[in-house]
Structure 1
Amino acid sequence: EHSNFANCIRFSPDGSKFISVSSDKKGILYDGKTGEKIGELSSEDSHKGSVYAVSWSPDGKA
C-alpha cells in the first residue's frame, strides 16, 4: 500500500511481524505469517520526509 517503492523491509526478532518503510513517508506493519496489514505509521506520526531505514529493538519494538 505504499505510493512509492519500499526503501527497507525488516522482520521482527521473533518473525511474527515485519515493517516496510518508503519514500512516501509511511511505515506499514504486517503480520509475518499472513502478510496482512496490521498497522501504519504516517507523516502525521512525525515523519516529514522519506523513510529510508527501520530496525527493531531486541524486545520487538520497531
Structure 2
Amino acid sequence: MLLTNEITQMAKAIVAQLPILNGIANSDEHQQALILMEDLLEHYDEDIIIIEALSNVITRY
C-alpha cells in the first residue's frame, strides 16, 4: 500500500528543515550546499536519500 500522503508530509518536513533542497539561487547557497554535502558524506549510508536530493540540487545549479 502506498502511503502517498504520509510520504508527502515527510518530504515537506524535510524541505522545511533544509530549504536549500528547493534550489540554489546564488554562489553563497552553492557553497553552503557543498559544505553540507561534505558533512553528509561522513555518514553516507544513513544520509543517502538527502545526499541524492542535494546532489540533484547542486547539479541543477
Answer whether TM exceeds 0.5 for this pair.
Answer: no
For Structure 1 versus Structure 2, the TM-score category normalised by the shorter chain is under 0.3
Q: Identify the structure with the greater strand proportion.
A: 1
Provide TM-score, normalisation by structure 2: 0.23
Which protein has the larger Cα radius of gyration, Structure 1 or Structure 2?
2
Provide TM-score, normalisation by structure 1: 0.23
Higher relative contact order, structure no. (Cα contacts within 8 Å, ≥ 6 residues apart)? 2
